[in-house]
């Protein structure tokens, strides 16, 4: 299929574009390079530099390449940042999807795979979280994605653009070629790897007084290659899916301190840490029930162990110590 990957120069987008190409699909990457890297665009993909909010240019791109499906990764995606700059999240994420959908409806692109998030659930009543749990975001990032999910439902019922919203839990790890290179970096695993390498003085532990077994936040880490596989399955089965919303996680919760220990095992060195206050907007526990993705999509994550996930992130960092170096 001919697929437009918006945000294909970013972390999850570049890995998914790589897997799409290996699965025989044609890929056009659209990225404004505000946070992505030109060098992250996989070999074999056509690259167009531009912003999803430029509706006329996007429509032209869709027509020029006779795109059949859009996979939309380009978005602002940091919980903490969204608590200080909500305008960035509504302006980039919500407006981005609105313009993209309008561009699509005049073309033959009638399939949309949306990067959604566990942050749509907020502080869940029950863990593991199922897709029918209430959507009650506790930060503007989750809210912006929840609004987009509702827009997608209207565009499907009114304009026939079929969609799947994939609610990622905590993406981590790397393929051999593509990994996580954010500046500034705020995510736990890459920061722990920087701390163990001596690139930063210490890793801050944001809160030890959560209602969790060791007092630190619990998350469900999912290998980025397993996420990519779910996208391919959603793309190939979109026509006959009875469901639209899918959690993507392993169903296993690891605390911040569990991750620190995994990094120490993988790197063979201690991670210097320092206690810090809670980070605003962080829910205590986010763990997926991914039963629906398994049964409906036929998804079967292959890289579920935390040490495998951390090990692949470490291998990529060791291979590319300066990231994409641009």
**Residue 283 has which token pair?**
């829910």
**Neighbouring C-beta atoms of residue 99, cutoff 10 Å:** 18
* 205 lies in the site for ligand UFG, by CB under 6 A: yes
Q: Does 246 bind ligand UFG (CB under 6 A)?
A: no
Catalytic residue selected from 141, 155, 210, 221: 141
- The set of residues, in sequence order, having a beta carbon less than 8 Å from that of 28 and lying 6+ positions away, is 2, 3, 4, 5, 45, 46, 47, 48, 61, 65, 67
Q: Is 170 in the site for ligand UFG (CB under 6 A)?
A: yes
Binding of ligand UFG by 224 (CB under 6 A):
no
Distance between terminal CA atoms of the chain? 31
| Residue 279 binding ligand UFG, by CB under 6 A | yes
| Residue 234 touching ligand UFG (CB under 6 A) | no
Instruction: Out of 89, 112, 155, 169, point to the residue binding ligand UFG (CB under 6 A).
Output: 169
State which of positions 44-103 bind ligand UFG (CB under 6 A): 77-79
CB of 130 to ligand UFG, least distance (A): 15
141 carries an active-site annotation: yes
The site that binds ligand UFG (CB under 6 A) totals a number of residues, namely: 22
Q: Does 217 bind ligand UFG (CB under 6 A)?
A: yes
Q: Tell me if 193 contacts ligand UFG by CB under 6 A.
A: no
8 Å CB contact between 260 and 182: no
Q: Following DSSP, what letter does each residue of 204-262 receive, concatenated?
A: EEE-S-SSSTTSS-EE-EEEHHHHHHHHHHHHHHGGG-S--EEEES-S--EEHHHHHHH
144 is an interface residue for ligand UFG by CB under 6 A: no
Residues in the chain: 326
* Distances in whole angstroms, Cα of residue 167 to Cα of each of 12, 123, 212: 13, 15, 23
Q: Determine if 29 is a binding residue for ligand UFG (CB under 6 A).
A: no
User: Any contact of residue 40 with ligand UFG (CB under 6 A)?
Assistant: no
Nearest residue (CB) to ligand UFG, 46 versus 133: 133
The four Cα atoms 2, 148, 245, 9 give a dihedral, to 10 degrees, of 40
Rounded Cα distance, 229 and 173, in Å: 14
Q: Whole-number minimum distance, CB 287 to ligand UFG, in Å?
A: 9
Among 10-18, 57-65, 84-92, 184-192, which window interacts with ligand UFG (CB under 6 A)?
Answer: 184-192
Q: What is the DSSP letter of 196?
A: H
Residues that bind ligand UFG (CB under 6 A): 77-79, 117-119, 169-170, 186-188, 191, 203-206, 217, 219, 256, 279, 282, 286
Catalytic positions: 141
């Amino acid at each position: 299929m001919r697929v437009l990957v918006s945000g294909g120069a970013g972390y999850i987008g570049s890995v998914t574009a790589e897997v799409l190409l290996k699965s025989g699909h044609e890929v056009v990457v659209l990225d404004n390079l505000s946070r992505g890297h030109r060098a992250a665009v996989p070999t074999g993909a056509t690259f167009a530099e531009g912003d999803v909010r430029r509706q006329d240019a996007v429509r032209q791109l869709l027509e020029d390449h006779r795109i059949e499906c859009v996979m939309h990764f380009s978005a602002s995606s940091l919980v903490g940042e969204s608590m200080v700059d909500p305008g960035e999240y509504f302006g980039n994420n919500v407006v981005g999807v609105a313009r993209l959908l309008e561009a699509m409806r005049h073309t033959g692109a009638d399939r949309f795979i949306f990067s959604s998030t566990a942050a749509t659930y907020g502080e869940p009543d029950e863990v593991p979280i199922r897709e029918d749990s209430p959507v009650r975001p506790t930060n503007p990032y989750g809210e912006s994605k929840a609004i987009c999910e509702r827009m997608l439902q209207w565009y499907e019922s009114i304009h026939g653009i079929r969609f799947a919203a994939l609610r990622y839990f905590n993406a981590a790890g790397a393929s051999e070629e593509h990994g996580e290179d954010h500046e500034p970096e705020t995510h736990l695993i890459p920061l722990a790897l920087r701390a163990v390498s001596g690139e930063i003085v210490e890793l801050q532990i944001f809160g030890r007084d959560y209602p969790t077994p060791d007092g630190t936040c619990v998350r469900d880490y999912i290998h980025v290659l397993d996420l990519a596989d779910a996208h391919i399955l959603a793309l190939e089965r979109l026509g006959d899916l009875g469901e639209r919303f899918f959690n993507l996680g392993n169903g296993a919760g690891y605390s911040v301190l569990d991750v620190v220990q995994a990094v120490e095992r993988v790197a063979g060195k201690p991670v210097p840490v320092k206690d810090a206050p809670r980070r605003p907007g962080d829910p205590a526990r986010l763990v997926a029930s991914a039963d629906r993705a398994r049964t409906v999509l036929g998804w079967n994550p292959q890289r579920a162990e935390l040490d495998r996930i951390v090990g692949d992130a470490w291998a990529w960092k060791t291979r590319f110590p300066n990231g994409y170096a641009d």
